[in-house]
Amino acid sequence: MSPRFEVELDIFSGNPNPSWILSDTEGVLFLKRLAKLRKTSAKELSTNLGYLGFIVRVTNGTEKSLVRIQNGMVLLSQDDTNVYYSDENRELERWLLNSGKSSLNSDLFKIVDIKIPRNP
């Protein structure tokens, strides 16, 4: 059985956030992109209002992982372990946004697109 990847765009407070499921192929690509990131020291995630990045829930049988991607930082939580990574050019964040383009309202997509700088 393939792992299940549910992506949530963390943007609304008080309303449900949009979410979508990655295909098996997209799930493999997500894991490959995650594996290429450089480990970094722990950093606190923002809790401001508005766009807060993405939450990816990975379920593989009874194993569950949570990946938070926000402003160039990635937090992988599994069991009681947290590992931090640097998404320096926010490529993983942008890739996740593009993976949900067909699931997101076009105005919402544009709002988030502006929040994620493009590579120089």
Domain range holding 52? Answer: 4-115
Is 31 part of any domain?
yes
DSSP string over 31-100: HHHHHTSEEE---PPP--SS---EEEEEEETTEEEEEEEETTEEEEEETTEEEEEE-TT-HHHHHHHHHT
Is 22 part of any domain?
yes
Is residue 12 a contact partner of residue 98, using CB atoms and an 8 Å limit?
A: no
What's the CATH number where 108 sits? 3.30.1490.410
Is 19 part of any domain?
yes
Average pLDDT estimate for 10-20: 93
Find, among 50, 38, 24, 20, the residue nearest to 87 by Cα.
38
Is 120 part of any domain?
no
pLDDT tens string 57-109: 999 988 999 999 999 999 999 988 999 999 989 999 999 999 999 999 999 99
The number of distinct structural domains making up the chain is 1
Is 105 part of any domain?
yes
pTM equals 0.93
Q: In the predicted model, what is the mean pLDDT of the chain? A: 93
